[in-house]
């Protein structure tokens, strides 16, 4: 079986996805799945989900790139592919590069279809500005949500976060949102951000 069923009942065929066959990507599925998916394989002080992380990346993108609504939206949805692949942790991918490559194939194929759905050029999710915001937020959140600082939190990532996240306070930025709350806030932000990126008002749900 190479097909998964999403929260809404949509069926994603992974083999067809990597071949480029259109799949039923639904943004309300993205909101649900990421709100119920924990970062760091759950190895945090309290449950901390990918939806909340994505909203922090979006916050930083809005600060750094005001008016660039496509980049802001891409920052918000940069982990949307994890709604079907889960969030494989970095040490696992480093230990098994062949496995990491297979994950990348699926994630890249998903990203290209989502870009097409949103009317964007291919490769927006790979934009260096999106990567920068993701890395900066990772460096900010990692020592705060984990019980113990880990060796693979690299010094250059910490320095990167200090460049643009040093004005964020130590406490209160990370809310540890309950999944149902994170889902509601994340989906609302998705609808609004997609509408801004398309240059029109948010008129309906996906």
* Mean pLDDT value of segment 164-175: 86
Over residues 167-172, mean pLDDT: 86
Please answer whether residues 189 and 58 qualify as being in contact, where contact means their C-beta atoms are separated by less than 8 angstroms.
yes
Residue showing tokens 């992380």: 53
Tell me the residue length of the chain: 206
| Structure confidence at residue 200 as a pLDDT band (50, 70, 90) | low
Confidence of residue 202 (pLDDT cuts 50, 70, 90): very low
pLDDT-derived band at 203 (thresholds 50, 70, 90) equals: very low
CB 50 within 8 A of CB 40: no
Structural domain contains residue 158 = yes
**pLDDT reported for residue 147:** 73
Binned at pLDDT 50, 70 and 90, residue 137 comes out as very high
- For a pLDDT cut of 90, what percent of the chain falls above it? 75
Q: pLDDT band at residue 171, thresholds of 50, 70 and 90?
A: confident
- Is 147 part of any domain? yes
Q: Does residue 20 carry a pLDDT above 50? A: yes
Grade residue 205 by pLDDT with cuts at 50, 70 and 90.
very low
Answer whether residue 133 shows pLDDT above 90. yes
Average pLDDT over residues 94-110: 95
With a CB cutoff of 8 Å and minimum separation 6, the contacts of 31 are 51, 183, 186, 187, 190
Residue 2: CB atoms within 10 A of its CB come to 10
Query: CA nearest 72: which of 83, 80, 60, 82?
Result: 60
**Distance in angstroms (rounded) separating the CA atoms of residues 49 and 53:** 7
Share of the chain above pLDDT 70, in %: 89
The domain containing residue 151 runs over which residues?
A: 26-198
CA atoms of 138 and 89, how far apart (whole Å): 13
Using CA of residue 195, residue 125, residue 186, residue 132, what is the dihedral sign?
negative
Least confident of 36-40, 149-153, 191-195: 149-153
Rounded-to-integer distance, Cα 37 and Cα 8, Å: 16
Classify residue 21: in a domain, yes or no: no
Question: Which residue, 38, 45, 117, is CA-closest to 74?
Answer: 117
Residue 61: inside a domain, yes or no? yes
Asked if residue 72 is part of any domain, the answer here is: yes
Identify whether 180 is part of a domain: yes
Give the pLDDT of residue 139.
84
Positive or negative: CA dihedral 202, 125, 99, 186:
negative
CATH value at residue 86: 1.10.3210.10
pLDDT of residue 101: 95
Q: Looking at the domain assignment, is residue 204 inside a domain?
A: no
* Domains: count for the chain: 1
Residue 104 lies in a domain: yes
State which H helix or E strand residue 11 sits in. Answer: strand 11-13
pLDDT in tens, 150-163: 555 555 555 665 66
Tens of pLDDT, residues 40-89: 999 999 999 999 999 999 999 999 999 999 999 999 999 999 999 999 88
**Strand 3-5 relative to strand 11-13, pairing:** antiparallel
């Amino acid at each position: 079986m190479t097909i998964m069923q999403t929260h809404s009942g949509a069926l994603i065929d992974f083999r067809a996805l990597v071949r480029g066959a259109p799949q039923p990507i639904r943004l309300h599925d993205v909101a649900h799945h990421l709100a119920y998916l924990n970062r760091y394989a759950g190895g945090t002080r309290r449950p901390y989900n990918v939806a909340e992380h994505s909203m922090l990346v979006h916050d930083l993108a809005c600060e750094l790139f005001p008016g660039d609504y496509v980049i802001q939206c891409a920052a918000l949805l940069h982990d949307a592919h994890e709604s079907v692949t889960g969030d494989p942790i970095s040490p696992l991918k480093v230990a098994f590069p062949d496995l990491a490559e297979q994950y990348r194939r699926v994630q890249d194929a998903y990203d290209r279809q989502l870009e097409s759905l949103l009317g964007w050029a291919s490769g927006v999710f790979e934009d260096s500005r999106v990567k920068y915001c993701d890395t900066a937020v990772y460096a900010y959140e990692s020592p705060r949500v984990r019980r113990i600082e880990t060796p693979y939190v690299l010094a250059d990532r910490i320095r990167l976060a200090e460049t643009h996240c040093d004005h964020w306070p130590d406490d209160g930025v990370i809310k540890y949102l309950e999944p149902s709350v994170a889902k509601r806030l994340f989906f609302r932000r998705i609808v609004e951000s997609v509408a801004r990126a398309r240059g029109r008002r948010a008129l309906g749900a996906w």
